[in-house]
Amino acid sequence: MDLDVSGLRRALLKEKAAQQRLIQSLREASFGDPQMEAARELSAYDQHTADQGTETFEREKDWGLLEQARATLEQIDLALSLMDEGKYGICLDCGTPIDTERLRAIPYALRCFACEQADEEAQKRKPRRPVEEEALFPPFSRTFFDGEDQAAYDGEDAWQDVARYGTANSPQDVPGSLDFGDAWIDADEEAGVVTELDALTGGLEVQDPHDDQTVADWVAEEERSEPSTERHEEERIPREGETR
C-alpha cells in the first residue's frame, strides 16, 4: 500500500488543530454560563414552554457537536499513534488495508469501509435513552395519585401549586375555564384539603371562584351573628318595673 505518510500526518495535525478550536469555541460560547443565564433571563420560572424548549434544543445540539468533536479528536490521536507504530492504514477490525482514497478523504479513519458500515449499523440497534430515565421511571406521572386512595401531598399537588402562577395554557386549552386563573388542569380542586369538611378544623381556604372567604371565617362570622343564650334569657324575662 503506497501511502503518503508525511502528507497524511500534516492533514491529521491540521484537522486536530481545527477540532481543538471547535471544542474551545463550543465551551466558551455555549457552556460558559448556565442555560438560564445564557438565555439572559433572571428566572426560567415564567418562561413559555416553547421558549424553554428552543433553548434546551439549542444546548443539546451544541452538546452533540461537542461530543462529536471530542470523538473525532480521539480518533485523530489514535491515528497518529498508529502512524508512529507503523500500523497506520490497517483496519482495526478485520486487519485488511484501508483504501487509500478513504484515508485521503478521512485521514483519521480507523476501519475499512465495510467494517465501519457494520459498526454504524450495530450502533443504530443499541438502545440510546437518557440515563436519567433509570432513576425517573416511570416519567412524569410517577407521583401523581389522582383517583387513588391517597391523601398525602403528591406530584399532582406540587404541579397545581406551581400552575396557579401561570402556565403555557390559555382558557381555550382547558375545557370549562373562563379566564387565565382557571387555565390549568384541575383548577377547580380544593387547595390543601380532601373535602370541604377538612377545612373546618384547619382554617384552610376552599377554592370558591365566587367567594374568597375561608370556611373558618364563615363559621366565626355565623357565631358572632347568632344571639347568645344569655341574651335570649334577658329578652325573655322582663326587668323590674317593666311590663310586656
Task: Say what the pLDDT of residue 127 is.
Answer: 77
Task: Say what the pLDDT of residue 231 is.
Answer: 52
Question: Whole-angstrom Cα distance, residue 203 to residue 166?
Answer: 25
Task: Say what the pLDDT of residue 58 is.
Answer: 86
Question: Whole-angstrom Cα distance, residue 111 to residue 40?
Answer: 45
Cell reading at 222: 355565623
32-54 confidence digits (pLDDT tens):
776 666 666 666 666 667 777 88
Task: Say what the pLDDT of residue 43 is.
Answer: 63
- The DSSP element (H or E) to which 11 belongs, if any, is helix 5-30
* pLDDT for residue 211 is more than 70: no
Looking at per-residue confidence, does 68 or 47 come out higher?
68
Cell reading at 226: 347568632
Task: Say what the pLDDT of residue 131 is.
Answer: 72
Q: How far is CA 38 from the centre of its chain?
A: 17
Read off the pLDDT of each residue in 8-31 and give the average, rounded to a whole number: 91
Cell reading at 20: 481543538
Residues 96/1, Cβ–Cβ less than 8 Å: no
* pLDDT for residue 223 is more than 60: yes
At 87, the pLDDT band (50, 70, 90 cuts) reads very high
- For the ranges 10-14, 124-128, 215-219, the lowest mean pLDDT is seen at 215-219
At 209, the pLDDT band (50, 70, 90 cuts) reads very low
Looking at per-residue confidence, does 117 or 123 come out higher?
117
* pLDDT for residue 117 is more than 60: yes
Read off the pLDDT of each residue in 131-155 and give the average, rounded to a whole number: 70
Q: How many CA atoms lie within 13 A of 32 on its CB side?
A: 9
Residues 98/91, Cβ–Cβ less than 8 Å: yes
Pick the closest to residue 83 from 176, 31, 20, 8 (CA basis).
8
CA dist list (Å): 57 to 51, 68, 82, 90, 214: 10, 16, 37, 39, 45
Structural domains for the chain: 5-128 (1.20.120.910), 134-189 (no CATH), 195-244 (no CATH)
Task: Say what the pLDDT of residue 125 is.
Answer: 84
Task: Say what the pLDDT of residue 203 is.
Answer: 47
Task: Say what the pLDDT of residue 152 is.
Answer: 75
Residues 197/191, Cβ–Cβ less than 8 Å: no
Q: How far is CA 196 from the centre of its chain?
A: 34
Cell reading at 75: 480518533
Read off the pLDDT of each residue in 157-171 and give the average, rounded to a whole number: 77
At 194, the pLDDT band (50, 70, 90 cuts) reads low
Task: Say what the pLDDT of residue 214 is.
Answer: 57
Exposed, middle or buried by CB within 10 Å (0-12, 13-18, 19+), for 200? Answer: middle
* pLDDT for residue 167 is more than 70: yes
With a threshold of 0.85, does the pTM exceed it? no
Task: Give, rounded to a whole angstrom, the gap between the first and last alpha carbons of the chain.
Answer: 130
**DSSP state, residue 177:** -
* pLDDT for residue 10 is more than 90: yes
In the beta sheet, which residues pair with residue 208? 211
Instruction: Tell me what percent of the residues of the chain surpass a pLDDT of 70.
Output: 68
